[in-house]
Structure 1
Amino acid sequence: MATVTGYPGSFQKMDLEHKAIERIKMASDMSLHHYGLPLVCTYSGGKDSDVILELFKRSGVQFEVHNSHTTVDAPQTVYHIRKKFREIELCGTKAEIQMPTYKGVPCSMWTLIPQKGMPPSRLMRYCCVVLKETGCANRFIATGVRWDESNARAERGAYEVIGKTKADMITATDEIMLMNDNSIKRTMTENCMRKNKMVVNPIIDWRHRDIWDFIQSEHIDYNPLYDCGYKRVGCIGCPMAAKSRWKEFSDFPTYQRAYIRAFDKMLEGLKARWKDKPPKWKSGYDVFLWWMGDKNVEGQMDLFEDGFVSEN
């Protein structure tokens, strides 16, 4: 292993890179053996995706790149993805941007909300299921999931099998059948794998600082939104983003208007469906304020407009 001089923590950086590449190589071998198809590098346009993509290039394995177009990514993210995919295709690697569908029909966040009859939330994340997680069925994929990002992800392993329920999932703490394993269960395992999506998380143990150290030291082109104060570059308005959503809608007001229009259409459907008990919301804007956790209530007085305080 080469030594990088003049770089703080260079040995640690090289160790993380080497371990991640070895995970990719092992997953590639498993993908080709069990599925007969190359490993897929999933790409969202964020910093972790850019690191994963660079590691794939350095691994020397055959791979494909896939992006699920959510319809609610910021323009900068969409342009960054397109730029990266053009570069990838020029190198002869397959790069696919998958447009979302729902019940066999093309959809977007704005058509999905009225059909579901409720806003997406932390507990009802139907948007992720439809817009992000339907791609690469029955394939072995690589993601940028990291323990450092959340407590929930701390339960994830370097290798996983994704089933229909949580009980069907296999993580790194369980036995995973490798190519050189000799077991009476081998054929059964291979058939099971072909019916599920397998996942490798090469940078699962990378910290936030490790990601940026790698990007800066290797001069990797990244999403320009990070230079605008963003710590995450996911879907605009994602309920998981908490208070940062206000900044997102301030920077991208067109998305706020699109959500409000979708909520208006949602209310029309609910009123037609529940004539005896219509929703309490009066407009899509009311839904938006509730969705954003606004504590203001209808009827609150304005100190200036109601004449309690003089503007002079």
Structure 2
Amino acid sequence: MEQTAMERLHLASQMSLKLYKQPLLLTDSGGKDSAVICKLAENAGIPFEICHSHTTADAPETVYHVRKRAKEYEEKGIKYTIILPTYQGKRTSMWDLIPKKLMPPTRIARYCCAVLKETAGKDRFVVTGVRWAESTKRATTSGALEVQNSDRKKKLILNNDNEEDRQLFENCQMKGKRVCNPIIDWTDRDVWDYLTDQKVEVNPLYNEGFCRVGCVGCPVARKNRYAEFARYPAYQRNYIRAFERMLEARKASGKANDMRWGTGEDVFHWWMEDGVLPGQVNIWEDYENALD
């Protein structure tokens, strides 16, 4: 599997140097899959650069881990860029984005990913740690090599490394970011076995029982969000304040309040799907306040 993944990287590297005149750009989220593709690229001996999109909602441990990795790679002579998010030409954050979008981010409306994570790699050949094992949807929408397009029907996805497919991918005139997913067919066990074998230091959150290390409160994490907010209460307060400003922005723009949200906390409970209705007393919160 390592050999196949490195062959994919070698192919993508050749195309990147030929088509873009630049080395591959590896995207590092600070998670285990990113750690694998970076180590694979090192072992493959290809030229590459790394970038990390700072989402402003990552856990502190992830932020420190990424900074450490950036320093280590820079000392190896490998360019590592931490990209600060922008929206409509201005610096932004998760907390500024929510009021501007007039709605909370959800599993369906993941505008936060589009703005905070997926803007890197314009006019570059990008490498990601996307894997089919992460979701059933990715099994049909992602491949080892991709030419992405805003129209999903026009997206080019290839998994075979034969001469015909290689020429099709290399000569494709379709506009869009080119992507290589070298570990697309790896399982979680494959990932952890490789990291252990290669003695790669991972995000410390994995050693504390975390299965994923994305943004704190990400709707994709579902019930794991409760543990995240218990560990990082300041992030919960940030979301509630952002929801308060979102309600003010919705009112100013004449948006209907169909959800009958009264406060930022109402929005937060709706967002968390915790069963607490707008205006309903949260007995646990009252209990905690009584203890204080």
TM-score, normalization: structure 1?
A: 0.85
Which structure: larger Rg? 1
Matched, 1:228 2:208: yes
Aligned to 2:60: 75
Alpha-carbon deviations, 1:162-201, whole Å to 9, x = none? 11120221001699988984x9x976x3x54xx4210110
- The one-letter code sitting in structure 2 at the alignment partner of 1:85 is A
Match of residue 167 from structure 1: 153
| 1:108-257 superposed matches below 5 A | 108-155=93-140, 156-172=142-158, 181=167, 189=172, 191-192=173-174, 195-257=175-237
AA aligned to 1:238 is C
For residues 49-68 of structure 1, the aligned pairs below 5 Å read: 49-68=34-53
Q: Distance in 2 between matches of 1:238 and 1:301?
A: 22
What displacement does 1:296 show?
Answer: 2.6
Residue 178 to residue 259, structure 1, CA distance change in 2 (3 Å): farther
Cα distance between partner residues in 2 of 1:27 and 1:164:
21
Aligned length: 283
Q: CA deviation at 1:39?
A: 0.7
The 1:281/1:186 distance shift into structure 2, 3 A limit, reads closer
Deviations 1:124-150 (A, max 9, x none): 110011001111112111110111111
Q: Mind listing any 5+ residue stretches in structure 1 that lack a counterpart? A: 1-15, 306-312
Deviates further, 227-236 or 279-288 = 279-288
Per-residue CA deviations over 1:184-221 (Å, capped at 9, x if unaligned) read x976x3x54xx421011001111101111111122110
Q: Distance in 2 between matches of 1:283 and 1:172?
A: 48
Give the match for residue 88 of structure 2: 103
Identity %: 48
Q: Which amino acid aligns with 2:82?
A: I
Superposition CA RMSD, Å? 2.5
Question: What TM-score do the two structures reach when normalised by structure 2?
Answer: 0.90
Is the contact made by 1:33 and 1:179 (CA closer than 8 Å) also made in structure 2?
A: no
Deviation at residue 273 of structure 1 after TM alignment: 2.1
Amino acid in the other structure paired with 2:155: M
- The residue aligned with 2:13 is 28
Q: Is the 8 A contact 1:66 1:97 kept in 2?
A: yes
**Mapped partners of 1:259, 1:151: distance in 2:** 29
The CA distance in 2 between the partners of 1:153 and 1:220, in whole Å, is: 26
